[in-house]
Amino acid sequence: MNWRAVQAIYSFEMARTARTLWQSIVSPVISTSLYFVVFGAAIGSRINEIEGVSYGAFIVPGLIMLTVLTQSVMNASFGIYFPRFTGTIYELLSAPVSFYEAMLGYVGAAATKSIILGLLILLTAWFFVPITILHPFWMIAFLVLTAITFSLLGFIIGIWADGFERLQIVPLLIITPLTFLGGSFYSLSVLPPFWQTVTLFNPVVYLVSGFRWSFYGVADVGVGVSLAMTFQFLITCLVVVWWIFRTGYRLKN
């Protein structure tokens, strides 16, 4: 394993974040803070509690997941797409760097940026609502697993996309709606039985539910099921990435 190559790619991607600090870090934190103001203060004042948790605190895990999911996909997809777009990907392909090392560098940087964003939003939330973290280990575990999994998904999208439209269609038209409909702002128990069953086909439900359980000990589905679904999605993304590297899909041609 050429760890120097991995470090070089990782450092370059992290340095790009530092150059675009307002767009990469500050803007998502400010946008999420507006959610706390609108949903936590305005709507939360009309809702007493959900499963024994104040509404403002209840939505914190969902808002963190919303940001981590979208930013992981976008950071990883843009990270690998721009070298393809500018042609510098051929320098990487001709260098003594394996596909797996390149993936570690790009995915590692994207996941790191998403984790930093998630922690910053968590710190910001403490200024708005009282938060309790009952299971800090599992909170970090769900955060890291989610960031890595969706950074892998973003890496796949960045290789698959042949234009900026395709690059943004999955985060904007698929990931974000699934997150909003995945229990980020409500409990599945408030839905009619039919829609509770339909919602269980949304994979984001398991991520949000497990992450919320690590905070307050309440969940829409069992935490074991949430972990199993997260690992299943992670393995699926790894298999797809392996196939891309094996066949050279959109890399060698």
252 within some domain:
no
Residue 115: pLDDT band with limits 50, 70, 90: very high
Task: For the chain, give the mean pLDDT.
Answer: 85
81 within some domain:
yes
d(CA 201, CA 57): 26
Average pLDDT estimate for 148-161 = 91
| Type of residue numbered 229 | M
12 within some domain:
yes
CB 214 within 8 A of CB 134: yes
221 within some domain:
yes
64 within some domain:
yes
DSSP of 22-70, one letter per residue? Answer: IIIIIHHHHHHHHHIIIIIIIIGGG--EETTEEHHHHTHHHHHHHHHHH
What pLDDT digit, counting tens, does each position of 199-237 carry? Answer: 889 989 999 999 999 999 998 898 999 999 999 999 999
Who's near 122: CB < 8 A, 6+ residues apart?
A: 60, 64, 131
Residue 137: pLDDT band with limits 50, 70, 90: very high
174 within some domain:
yes
78 within some domain:
yes
d(CA 171, CA 181): 14
Give the per-residue pLDDT at 140: 95
Residue 112: pLDDT band with limits 50, 70, 90: very high
The count of domains in the chain is 1
Helix and strand element counts for the chain (H, E): 13, 2
Burial class (CB in 10 A: 0-12, 13-18, 19+), 194: exposed
d(CA 57, CA 75): 27
Q: pTM for the complete prediction?
A: 0.89
d(CA 46, CA 87): 54
Domain range for 206 is 3-185+192-247
217 within some domain:
yes
d(CA 146, CA 111): 9
d(CA 160, CA 46): 45
| Type of residue numbered 46 | R
What pLDDT digit, counting tens, does each position of 54-68 carry? Answer: 888 888 899 899 889
Average pLDDT estimate for 128-144 = 91
Give the per-residue pLDDT at 228: 93
Is residue 107 pLDDT above 90, yes or no? yes
> How long, in residues, is the chain?
253
